[in-house]
Structure 1
Amino acid sequence: MKADYHVHTEFSDDSEYQMEQVVRDSIVMGLDEICFTDHVDYGVKNDWDDGEKIRYREGIPGEPENMPILNVNYPLYYKTYQKMKTQYGDKITLKLGMEFGMQVHTIEQYEKLYAKYPFDFIILSVHEVEDKEFWTQDFQRDRTQQEYNERYYEELLYLVQNYHNYSVLGHMDLITRYDKAGTYSFEKLKPIFTEILKTVIADGKGIEVNTSSHRYGLSDLTPSRDILKLYRELGGTIITIGSDSHKPEHLGTFIDETKQELKTLGFKEFCTFDKMKPIYHQL
């Protein structure tokens, strides 16, 4: 079983990868299953139909000069997904998901969105705190390395304690990707890591291994091997593997290598999802 459980399409504001092309490419490369997980980031992005003036950001290399800052067009997303299932369902298993880029003040909005569609899988991610982005350094600015790391994980802990309609935590230590001061001490953060992971496990949820760590040139996995070992030691078993793909060259990458890493760390299984329930597969 080879599955990619973190896949973005043209319905994410940072991707132009057409959903149908994602499906075709997945079939060609021999993937058995994929889950679409397009971005929703309440607090910093407009909904496509909210009547507000559309905002734009400057495109990064490979993108148009100006990129609209929008969440998913939900009805069209669902309609297109259904069309793909009908057209390609005999060749590949397709699952409906989203990546919820949550903040503590946006929980109510996600509760309403979750209730509208028959999701198979939800990634709970923290992409910004206090409506401040990490990749721009707005969140880290005027904070010490200790302060912004601790504040990030405090946000994540509050979310897992107060929001329950999700499947796994996405790229749990995402702040590391944008930490210009280097990797902050695992031991100093271990108490809050432990509290977060115990909460996740008690709630019947899991974590993902996000293979984008390779293309970002990080020195460790995402989340780190130390976090993954702690999760296993605490009794965690629900793990998904996702490329976080936004382009054809990202799709399905480093999945086999990640399975080997998980075996080395003592895990025996990984998961796919159906109707928000984990399905276990041998690594």
Structure 2
Amino acid sequence: MRKDFHVHESHSRDAPGALVEEYCREAEIKGMDEICFTTHLIISGPDTSNSIEVGEIPEYLEEVERAQSSTNVKLRVGLEVDYFPEEERRLESLLDEYPFDFILGSLHYIRGYDIGAMEGSMAFFGKRSLREALNIYYTDWKLAVESGLFDVMAHPDYFRKYLHYTIPEPLTLEDYGSMLFEAVESMVSYGVGVEVNPSGYRHGIGDCYPSLELLGVMKDWGIGTVTVGSDSHRVEDLGSRLEKAVARLRSASYEHICTFEKRRNRVLSLDEVCSLINP
């Protein structure tokens, strides 16, 4: 049994050719029993061209529903939504309009900088101290959590993707500053979960998001909702490195993972899942 709750299909324009039907076949081949499509919804910023068009959402839902009729893999439908503070009400209206199973929140853009791109990351982190930069990042993260829009926040230290080009030394918890802990406290208060995402292995940092230290903070503060997702943008990457995500959860003393249906989470024993996931 494998469950992957971060999967991009072709309505995410940075996942061309990643068709729902092909994902279903790949899931069957790999022995997976549940996947959640989380196509990008980006309604502001420079990368709206990577997003599903709002008018395509009914088509997206129907496509997943059709695919469900021809596979035994449980298909869930969701979005990975980029958070922009000024767009909260518009996002709320869109997310309430459709019967999604799962909504991931994410931060790729901070104060006009795309920290998921090398140039944007170097510009953002190169203009300020690391602590100042991370306080800005987690200020926006806290706003995203407190918006009430999201079930789970994706890859909570995604900025590490290119950070090493600006700051080669490994991060310590002291580098994060006070806003991290305020953001984590808000996650607990608002019941928002965290994703463990192994795409850092594909990005070349050789690690999951979040780091073990950061996930340990979240565990210690009482965040109980945790999901795993490959962040696949290609069919062949479905389920990629999920064993790393499970190992990360174990190392942080988690004993379960969560899945979602109709925006409600289900808790599954990590021992059970691990016994059925082969590296």
TM-score by length of 2: 0.87
Distance 1:21 1:77 in 2: 15
Cα deviation code 1:182-237 (max 9, x no counterpart): 34432232532221112112212210001101112224421111111111111111
Partner of 2:139: 154
| Deviation of 1:70 (Å) | 4.0
Distance 1:194 1:208 in 2: 17
The structure carrying a bigger helix percent of its residues is 2
Matched, 1:103 2:87: no
| Deviation of 1:111 (Å) | 0.6
Partner of 1:82: 65
Q: Which moved more, 1:257-266 or 1:246-255?
A: 257-266
Partner of 1:34: 35
Q: Which moved more, 1:209-218 or 1:136-145?
A: 136-145
Structure 1 residue runs without a partner (length 5+): 48-67
Q: Percent identity?
A: 28
Does the aligned pair in 1 maintain the 2:135–2:177 contact within 8 Å?
no
Distance 2:68 2:44 in 1: 31
**How many pairs does the alignment contain?**
260
Report SS of the residue matched to 1:5.
strand
Return the match for 1:93 from 53, 63, 74: 74
| Deviation of 1:279 (Å) | 0.4
Alignment of 1:123-272 (within 5 A): 123-134=104-115, 135=117, 136-137=119-120, 138-140=123-125, 142-161=127-146, 163-179=147-163, 180=165, 181-182=167-168, 183-189=170-176, 191-272=178-259
| Deviation of 1:165 (Å) | 2.5
Does the aligned pair in 2 maintain the 1:243–1:250 contact within 8 Å?
yes
Distance 1:95 1:141 in 2: 40
Structure 2 residue runs without a partner (length 5+): 271-279
TM-score by length of 1: 0.86
Report SS of the residue matched to 1:87.
coil
